[in-house]
A and B are shown apart, each in its own frame.
Chain A
C-alpha cells in the first residue's frame, strides 16, 4: 500500500520536509531532553547543571532518602487503590448504564464531567470538603451526630487515601465510558443465544461479557497507571504533600528536590525512575497496538 506516487523528486521530499519540524521537535525536546536529564542524574548537579560525573551516587542517595521511600510507598498505595477502585466502579456503572436506561446520555454526562476539570479545581473542592474544621465532619456534627469524625486529610496515616478519593471521583467516569464503549461492541447475537439458553444475567456477564472487555480493561489500566505516576497537580492542590511529608509522591518529590532544595542530580534521578516505570507500562502496550495494525 505504500508509495502512492512515483517519480519527481519534489514530491518525494516535500512530505518528509513537512514532517521534519515535528521530527526535530521530538528529537530535541523529547529524546534529547530525556538523554540530558539522564546524563544529569549521573552528575553532581545542584542548583545548576554541572557536568561532573559521579556515577550512581545520586541513585544511591535517592534510595536512602526517607522521603523517597515514603513517596514510592504512597505511589504504590495510591496507584493500586486508584486503579482498582476506578476499574471496579467504572465497570459497575457501565453495566448498570447498559440496561437500556432512560436518560442514559444525561446520566453519562454527569458521570463524566469531572474529567473536564483541572486537578487543581478538584483538589480545591475536595480540600475544603474534607477539611474537618468546615467540611464534612463539621457538617455532620452540626446535624447532631456529635461523635462523627472524618479528619483523614489532617491524619498522617490516612491522608494519602483522601488523594485516592478525589482522584477516583475525577476519573472513574472516564473508565465507565471506556467500559461502556466496550460493552456496546459486544456481539449481541451471542448474548441472545446464551440468554435463550437460560443463562442467568450474572453468568452472562461473568462468562461472556467481562472476558470480552479485556481490551477496554487494558486501555483503562494503561491510562490510569500513567496518570497515577504523573499525578502532581492533585497532590499539590489537595494536601501539598502534607501533613509533613505524608502524601509526598515521586512527582512532588522530583519538583521539590530539583527546584526548591537545589539537589538537581537527585531530582533528575527521581525523574528517571518515573520515566522507566511509565516506559515499562507504555512501551509493550504501544508495541502491540502498532504491530496489530500493520
Chain B
C-alpha cells in the first residue's frame, strides 16, 4: 500500500482551502459548471422517457409531421386505449392487455418459488456447512452467468416432454430454474454475515432445522428478501429470450407482445401506440424502482458478485 505522505508540506500552500469543515471548491464558478453538466446528463437520461410519454399522448399525424420532440398540441389518450385493448398484436386485435396479465401470472409464482428456494439454499450453505459446499455454491453461481442460448434447444425439448411447452407454466418453470442461482447468491451472502452463535444456541435448546429457519433466520431476512424479489421481478418481467422461445400466441409475456406490436409490418406504423405500449411494458418495473430504488441498487451491486 502507498504510505500517506508526511504532513510537512502543509506550508507550501497552493491555494487549496485549509482542511476542516468545508473541503475544496467553495468557489462558485466550477460549482455551477458542475451542476450544469450533471443537469445535462439528467436530460440525456430522461429524453427517451420524455419522447415515449409525450408521443404516446398525441395523435399520429403530429409525430409523422416532424413533431416528435414537441409536447402534444392535441392531448389524447387514444393511443393508450388502442395499445391496451385494440391494437393488432400478432394474429389478434386484443391490444396488450392479455399479455400484460400473462406477465403477471408468470412473474409472481416464479419470483415466490425462486426466492423461497434461494433462502433455504443460503441457509444450508452458511449454517449447515459440509465438505465441498463452496465448490457446490460456485457451481450453482455459474448458472447466473451462462448465456441462455446454450440451454434453449434442450429446454424446448424438456418443456415438450413435461407437456408444458407454450404455456405460462412452462415459462414459470424456466424462470424458477435460472432464478434460483441468483436468489441463492443473495441469501448465502446475507446469511454468511448472520451470527452463527444464535443458530448454535437454538440448536442446543433443541430447535430443529426448519424451526431455526422460520424462527430465527426468516424474521431477519427482510432486506435481502426485498432485494431478491425486486431483482427477480425486474429480470423475469423484462425477459425476452425465454418468452420468445417458449411461448405460444396466447401465453406470450408483455415484452414479446410489445415487440410483435412494434415489428408487425402490416398497415400504418402507429408510433404513438408503440410508445404507449412501451410505457405499459415499463411501468411495473419502473414503479418498483421508484418505490424501492435503494433495494434495487443493492441488488445490482450484489448481482455483480460482490460479497
Contacts and interface: CB of A to CB of B under 8 A. Distances in A.
A275 B146 contact: yes
Interface in A206-265: 208, 215, 219-220, 222-223, 226, 229-230, 232-233, 236-237, 240, 250-251, 254-255, 258-259, 264
Residue picked from A113, A127, A200, A294, most chain B C-beta under 10 Å: A113
Contacts, number: 311
A21 B124 CA distance: 13
Residue picked from B131, B147, B293, most chain A C-beta under 10 Å: B147
A97 interface: yes
Contact of A26 (B143, B158, B255): B143
A30 B301 contact: no
Interface residues of B, number: 115
Contact of B38 (A16, A101, A181): A101
Contact of A193 (B5, B66, B67): B5
B297 to A, nearest CB: 6
A281 to B, nearest CB: 9
Contact of A126 (B48, B150, B296): B48
Nearest to A219: B304
Contacts of B117: 21-22
A196 B7 contact: yes
B137 interface: yes
Contact of A237 (B67, B146, B181, B259): B259
A120 B258 contact: yes
B300 A177 contact: yes
A65 interface: no
Given A96-B37, A97-B38, A118 B275 contact: no
Contacts of B139: 26, 31
A174 B300 contact: yes
A52 interface: no
B291 to A, nearest CB: 11
Interface string A123-165: 1111111000111101101100000000000000000000000
Contact of A285 (B63, B129, B184, B305): B305
A264 B154 CA distance: 11
Interface in A68-108: 93, 96-97, 99-101, 107
A56 to B, nearest CB: 18
Given A198-B12, A286-B141, A222 B304 contact: yes
Contacts of B281: 118, 120-121
- 9 smallest beta-carbon distances between A and B, as pairs: A15-B128, A118-B238, A116-B289, A142-B66, A233-B240, A193-B4, A125-B48, A219-B304, A271-B149
Interface of B: 2, 4-7, 9-10, 12-14, 16, 19, 23-25, 34-35, 37-38, 41-42, 44-49, 51-52, 55, 63-64, 66-69, 117, 120-121, 123-125, 127-131, 134, 136-143, 145-155, 157-158, 177-178, 180-181, 184, 196, 199-200, 203, 208-209, 234, 237-238, 240-241, 244-245, 255, 258-259, 262-263, 271, 274-275, 277-279, 281-282, 285-286, 288-290, 293, 296-297, 300-301, 303-307
Interface of A: 1-5, 11, 14-16, 18-19, 21-23, 25-26, 29-34, 36-37, 40, 49, 93, 96-97, 99-101, 107, 109-129, 133-136, 138-139, 141-142, 169, 173-174, 177-178, 181, 189-190, 192-198, 200-201, 208, 215, 219-220, 222-223, 226, 229-230, 232-233, 236-237, 240, 250-251, 254-255, 258-259, 264, 267-268, 270-272, 274-275, 278, 282-283, 285-287, 289-290, 293-294
30 contacts: A4-B203, A16-B124, A23-B136, A23-B140, A37-B153, A120-B281, A121-B281, A122-B48, A125-B278, A134-B64, A142-B66, A142-B67, A174-B300, A178-B301, A194-B4, A196-B9, A222-B305, A223-B303, A230-B147, A233-B240, A236-B240, A237-B259, A237-B262, A251-B147, A255-B245, A258-B152, A271-B147, A278-B147, A289-B305, A294-B134
